Each structure stands twice: as C-alpha cells, then as structure tokens.
Amino acid sequence: MHLLRTKSVEQSIQDTEAPEHRLRRDLSALDLTVFGVGVIIGTGIFVLTGQVAKDKAGPAVAISFVLAAVVCGLAALCYAEFSSTVPVAGSAYTFSYATLGEFPAWIIGWDLILELALGAAVVAVGWSGYAASLLDTLGMPLPAAISHPPGEHGGVVNVPAILLVFGVTILLVTGVKVSSRVNAVVVGIKLAVVLLIIVAGLFFIKGANYTPFIPPSKPTGSVEGAGAPLIQVLFGLSPVSYGWFGIFAAVAIVFFAYVGFDVVATAAEEARNPQRDVPIGLIGSLFVTAILYAAVSLVVVGMQNYTRLSDAAPLADAFRAVGHPAFATIISVGAVAGLTTVVLILLLGQSRVFFAMSRDGLLPPSLSSVHPRFGTPYRSTILMGAIVAVLSGFIPLAKLAELVNIGTLFAFCLVAGGVVVLRRTRPDLHRAFRAPFVPVVPALAILGCLFVMLNLPVETWLRFIGWMALGTVLYLFYGYRHSRVGASATPTAPTAPPAEPLGGASPIDPAG
C-alpha cells in the first residue's frame, strides 16, 4: 500500500489553475492580517484572562500569554515558509501531502476538521451566551429553552448559535472579498473595545494588586484519573497553582486564545501575492494580538485582585468592581462582535480544507466545485455550515472543547517537521520566505507544542486517538481508493522544473 505517496509541489500549484477549481485571488496582506486578528481576538481576551489569572498564574498571566504566543510564533514561521512555497488552499494538509505523504496528509486534514469545525461550534455557543446577555441588558430576554446549549440551564436548542452559523455561511458563499470587508468592519469594532478596555482600565490600576507578581506556588485539589494532565500521569507530578509551574500550566489553557491563526494559511490560494502577503498576515496578526493579550491581562489584574476575578466575565466584572458598570455593556458588544469574526474565519478555513481534500479525491469530488458567480467553494462551505450549526445548536460541547487545542498542536508539529523535510528533499524550490535558523526553529516549535500537549488531560488524548482512528478507517475505505495521486500514471517524484513564483513577489529572505 502506497500510504506515503506524495503530491508534488508543481502538481499542487498546477491544480489551482484548473477552471473548475480556480479560486479568486482577492485578498491583500492587510486582508489576511485582519483575518488573523479577527480569529485570534475572541474567547481568550474576554474570558480566559480572568480564569487563568485566578486559578493558575496570578498577575503573571501575561507571561503565560507571551509564552503561548512564542510557541505559536515558532510555528507561524514554519507556516509562512510553506505558504509562500506552496500557495495552495488546505494549509497543513497541503503541506503534509507535499512532504510526508498521502496518509499523513489525510490524518492532518482530518485533524483540521476537528480543530476548525469543532472550534467554530464552541465559539458559536459562546457567542450565543454573550448575545443573550446583551439582549437581556437591553430588556429583550430570550427564553432559556432556546438560548442555552442542550441540558444547560434549561436549554433545549441553541437558536442564536444556529442563526449565527447560517448567517456566516451565507456570507462566505457570496465571496471571500465580501467576507473580508465585513470582517474588517467587525474587527475594527472589537479592537476599539479592546483599546478602550486598556486605556480606561489604566485609570483604575492599583499597584498593590501586582504584589506578588508571581504568587508562591501551592498545591491544588488533586485531579485524578482521566481528568489529570498527561504530564502528571507520566512523571508523577502534583498539580500546583501559581509559581512558575502555575505559569507553565496556564500556557496549555491560554493557548486556546491563539487557536485559528493558521487559518490565514488556508487562504493562500486566494491571496493576490501569496509569497509576500501570507507571511505578513501570519506573523503580523500574531504579533498584534500577543501585545493586546498581554496588555489586557496586565490591566485586568491591576484593576482587581486576581483572587477576586470573575470566571465568566472578568473584564466586565472588573469595571463593575471599580464602580463603572456601563463598561459591561460595551464589553458585551465587543465580545459579540469578536466572536462573530472568529466563527466566520474558522468556517472559511474549514471549507478550504474540505475543498483541497476533495480536489485531491480524498473526499467526494463534488465538494470541490467552485460557484460560477462568486468564485467560492460553495458546496463545501454549505456542508460545513450545516454540520457546525447542528453541533452548536443540539450537542453539548463543553467536554470536547480541549480537543480543539490538541488538534491544533498536532498540526503545528507536522508543519514544523515538514519544513525540514522539504528543505532536504526539494532544495531547488523557490522560497519567497525562509524560516530562520532551520532546523533549530522547527525543532523548538515541535518541542514547545509537545510540552503544551502534555499539559492536556488524559481524557483529551483518548478522545483525540479515537477521532484519529475513525479517520484512518474512512481513509482506507474511501480516500485511498479514490485518490487522484494514486490513480495517476505519472510518477510521484517531481520531474517538472521548479515552479515560478506566483504574483511576481520579490523574495523575503531572513537569515536561514
């Protein structure tokens, strides 16, 4: 069985020119950067800042956000090199197909389905909660049966979440440029809210709330069985809060705040000048959001002692604690806007992964059809929209949310390893962007991701293994038999000359 057959870079790029599969190149570097900021600024900034400061890191939560950003930054450099070398929809799936082989590519594509679709559903449920709270503040409360997830607070079906997903799906079908314009407006709103939080919060900071900045570590209630972090089970460690171990434990949680920045790479095929624009979008969005996360976390722990921070709405409650409840409504507006763009961009990325896998024959070919008017993969977009709507409306997702983290980290590991493989197997390829200090940077990215993965619970690992096993069965019964690469009579080893760079970009070549 040729499970490791590869699809050459040249063939991947050639497939993007087929009229029936050609996506419109409408996105600029600014569009991609705004996409990245739009997907990152969401749940992390409005919820996780307080939860992690209170339970894990204390005022030093800003360090946890920075460390998580460093891990993502190392992976982003690897994504940037791949995206500028293989500017094709599909992100880590496409990169793995060109380096590691078909079966690893399928596994990473299956993994991305978990990351993006489940992530969109989880965020849609969070959006529903903020929207219901905002409507309640405005005197228009929604019945509990249609505004909560099933089984929670009397919820039966989460109607706001379903309506959000349907609306976003329609927007994505009408065109990526339209989606990017709407995204830019909404991102502008939530950035204004975030900057308002930072500036207004500065006037209520008390220096005493920063002391001690790194609280002394202390044991937490023992987490046993499948709920224990894997690293605790493997090395017999006892979980602690605060101190440096608490900061490191917090990294595994706040990592969720950065999930989705890799969606920028899935839009490479729709960038006007992918060799230049995609690296700018990836690195620029991560840099901007890391600064904002650190600033917001420092402000909120300065406004209110970390031991009294709210778990559900730390930013709003911090302003209430200093006598300014009006900010709570403004923050709710920012949260609704912020989470809207997260769902939009996660669904965009998921539809592009489906599109790429379908174009390669690993999924039904009909899913790779492009709309004749809008130039979007409308069938895969509608299918994923329907799946995410069902998940967000009818399935309790609280226990599955951590699967998003482990799926993302697994993808980062494969992309980082793929950069080293492609450097050795295809040194002749034009690389408009080169990750610096290869193989050191990819190795550090892999080690950082593995460390974060080890801090996830055992039950998350077990669910992840089960999902991968299901994917393997589907590949063997469908993907392997219908693969276009497998059906082709041409050799898998690349024989064509190196591809010319698309878009006429000038090389961007840091030391490497």
How many Å apart are CA 318 and CA 302, to the nearest integer? 10
Q: What is the pLDDT of residues 212-267, one digit of tens each?
A: 899 888 876 645 666 677 887 788 777 677 888 888 878 887 887 787 777 777 77
As given in the structure block, the two tokens for residue 482 are 């219908």
| Residue 190 and residue 36 in contact, taking contact as beta carbons nearer than 8 Å | no
Q: How far, rounded to the nearest angstrom, does the alpha carbon of residue 74 sit from its chain's CA centroid?
A: 15
Q: Which residues contact 302 (CB under 8 A, 6 or more apart)?
A: 59, 201, 204, 205, 206, 207, 209, 210
Which pLDDT score is estimated for 489? 44
Give the residue among 431, 435, 427, 422 at the shortest CA–CA distance from 507: 431
Residues 38-56: what's their mean pLDDT? 77
Query: What is the overall mean pLDDT for the chain?
Result: 81
Identity (one letter) of the amino acid at 328? Answer: A
Residues 359-383: what's their mean pLDDT? 85
Work out the pLDDT band at 459, boundaries 50, 70, 90.
Answer: confident
Q: Which helix H or strand E contains 114, and what residues bound it? A: none
Between residues 68 and 263, the one the model is more confident about = 68
How many Å apart are CA 183 and CA 163, to the nearest integer? 17
DSSP classification of residue 271: B
Which pLDDT score is estimated for 509? 41
Selected from 1.10.1040.10, 1.20.1740.10, 3.30.465.10, 3.40.50.2300, the CATH number assigned to the domain covering 9-490 reads: 1.20.1740.10
Give the residue among 289, 296, 292 at the shortest CA–CA distance from 258: 289
Q: If DSSP states are collapsed to H, E and C, what string results for 226-285?
A: HHCEHHHHHHCCCCEECHHHHHHHHHHHHHHHHCCCCHHHHCHHHECCHHHHHHHHHHHH
Tally of CB atoms within 10 A around 335 = 27
Distances (CA, A) of 200 to 203, 327, 347: 6, 9, 34
How many Å apart are CA 133 and CA 422, to the nearest integer? 49
pTM score, whole prediction: 0.80
Domain-by-domain residue ranges, the chain? Answer: 9-490
Q: Percent of the chain having pLDDT more than 90?
A: 15
Q: What is the pLDDT of residues 158-213, one digit of tens each?
A: 899 999 999 999 988 887 666 677 778 888 888 888 898 899 889 889 999 998 89
Distances (CA, A) of 94 to 90, 119, 414, 418, 482: 5, 21, 11, 11, 17
Between residues 454 and 395, the one the model is more confident about = 454
Work out the pLDDT band at 339, boundaries 50, 70, 90.
Answer: confident
Strand partners, 219: 240
Which pLDDT score is estimated for 511? 36
**54-58, 372-376, 388-392, 425-429: range with lowest mean pLDDT:** 372-376
Identity (one letter) of the amino acid at 20? Answer: E
Residues 74-79: what's their mean pLDDT? 90
Q: What is the pLDDT of residues 5-27, one digit of tens each?
A: 888 878 877 776 666 656 777 77
Which pLDDT score is estimated for 19? 60
Which pLDDT score is estimated for 59? 92
Q: What is the pLDDT of residues 254-300, one digit of tens each?
A: 887 787 777 777 777 777 887 788 888 888 888 888 899 889 899 98
Between residues 509 and 338, the one the model is more confident about = 338
Residue pointed to by tokens 């700018």: 280
Residue 50 scores a pLDDT above 60? yes
DSSP classification of residue 229: B
Which pLDDT score is estimated for 166? 94
Give the residue among 133, 69, 128, 503 at the shortest CA–CA distance from 316: 133
Which pLDDT score is estimated for 165? 94
How many Å apart are CA 392 and CA 291, to the nearest integer? 31
Work out the pLDDT band at 510, boundaries 50, 70, 90.
Answer: very low
Residue pointed to by tokens 């991701």: 449
How many Å apart are CA 215 and CA 237, to the nearest integer? 19
Which pLDDT score is estimated for 493? 44
Work out the pLDDT band at 512, boundaries 50, 70, 90.
Answer: very low
Which pLDDT score is estimated for 16? 67
Burial 397-411 (b: 16+ CB within 10 A, else e): beebbbbbbbbbbbb
Which pLDDT score is estimated for 448? 92
Identify the three-state secondary structure at position 360. Answer: coil
| Residue 4 and residue 490 in contact, taking contact as beta carbons nearer than 8 Å | no
Q: Which residues contact 138 (CB under 8 A, 6 or more apart)?
A: none
